[in-house]
Structure 1
Amino acid sequence: MSTSLTWYVALIALVVLERVAELVLSRRHAAWALARGGVEFGAGHYPAMVLLHSALLAGALGEAWLADRPFVPALGWAMVALVVLTQGLRWWCIATLGRQWNTRVIVVPGLPLVDGGPYKWIRHPNYVAVVLEGIALPLVHTSWLTAVVFTLLNAWLLSVRIRTEDAALATGR
């Protein structure tokens, strides 16, 4: 295995650890929300979302290794920087939403809509992070096919997810 691919495995492993941390926090926040009368919306699309995001990680690494994709420094380092920025945006969203954040769509009746932090400028900033990461993470090691397939499938999934969230927020407040 090349040195660049070894580093790419380490980067993907760090993203996996970050996702595990998200899921632990999400589970805690979901329990908090449900204990306060929270109602879940759109549970049907959640397994597809988990599968797609898992496939992004596996596909990026698998394509880099199986298709012997090269690390192109100008592209790769720019994409590493973008991946780091997307993680920063993602955690800014999580911090801003506090206990109201989780990976599911759960609305606690009576809680105000969060409009601070990145939500002051963008309605769905976490999805900006998801879209950019879905392009950048595979392109760190030129896994362009994974980037294209994830982006197309994610566009469809986000159209479902955003409609679900917007409808839930409109009825749950």
Structure 2
Amino acid sequence: MAFLIFISFLVAQRLSELYVSSKNEKWLLANGAVQYGQKHYPVMVGMHTCFLVSVIVEYYLRGGTGMNIPVLVIFLALLAFKYWVIASLGTFWNTKIYRIPGMQPVTRGIYKVVKHPNYMIVVGEIALIPLVFHLYTTAIVFSILNAAMLYVRISEENRVWKMMNDK
């Protein structure tokens, strides 16, 4: 039962993030934003979808596992940081890469201290979510896949900011 509640929470949380992202996307486009990274975005979405499926499949293949409460607490604390990131970026937060020409990067909130805090959080989520239920294969495989995805994603974001700063 705990696993079902946890997965339901994750799905609801992810869907709410997509809702916020969609709402912010409309604002960004209305304010002249340009999208970048369209080629890798479907791969990223696919990876995150497969990640959730893998968590479910591994859990049931292992016959169910107990919950690791300390890891759950760390994951929930990580979510607090994620919401700080989302609040810091406000309408600029999105799952896609958008930039409004002439705008500088956000430097408030956690962005005063860390350049890519959202991606640090995603690294933690990909590792911790499966570990809440001792799903080591999913944690390892998707941490590696996520590292490759983030290499592409962060390189693209840095390229966009450099290109905009060079103008």
Deviations 1:111-141 (A, max 9, x none): 2311121111111111111111111110111
**Matched residue, 2:60:** 65
**Identity across matched positions, percent:** 35
Superposed displacement of residue 47, structure 1 = 0.8
Match of 1:56 in 2: 51
Task: Show CA shifts across 1:70-126 (max 9, x none).
Answer: 21x5xx112101211221111111110011111000001122311121111111111
Match of 2:148 in 1: 156
The within-5 A match list for 1:32-111 is: 32-71=27-66, 76-111=68-103
Gaps of 5+ in 1: 1-5
Displacement of 1:172 after TM fit? 3.2
- Structure 1 residue ranges, 4+ long, deviating more than 4 angstroms after superposition: none
Whole-angstrom distance in 1 between the partners of 2:122 and 2:43: 15
1:29-70 CA distance string (max 9 Å, x none): 111111211111111111111111112212112101112252
Q: Which amino acid is 1:57 matched to? A: L
**One of 138, 141, 157 as aligned partner of 1:146:** 138
Paired residues of 1:69 and 1:143 also in contact (CA < 8 A): no
Which residue is equivalent to 2:122? 130
Q: Secondary structure at the match of 1:106?
A: strand
> How many corresponding residue pairs?
165
2: CA distance between counterparts of 1:172 and 1:16? Answer: 35
Residue 161 of structure 2, aligned match among 145, 154, 169: 169
- Residue 3 of structure 1: aligned partner: none
**Partner AA of 1:62 in structure 2:** V
1:17 deviation in Å? 0.5
Q: Secondary structure at the match of 2:39?
A: helix
Structure 1 counterpart of 2:4: 9
Q: State the TM-score, normalized to the length of structure 1.
A: 0.90
Q: Distance in 1 between matches of 2:36 and 2:15?
A: 22
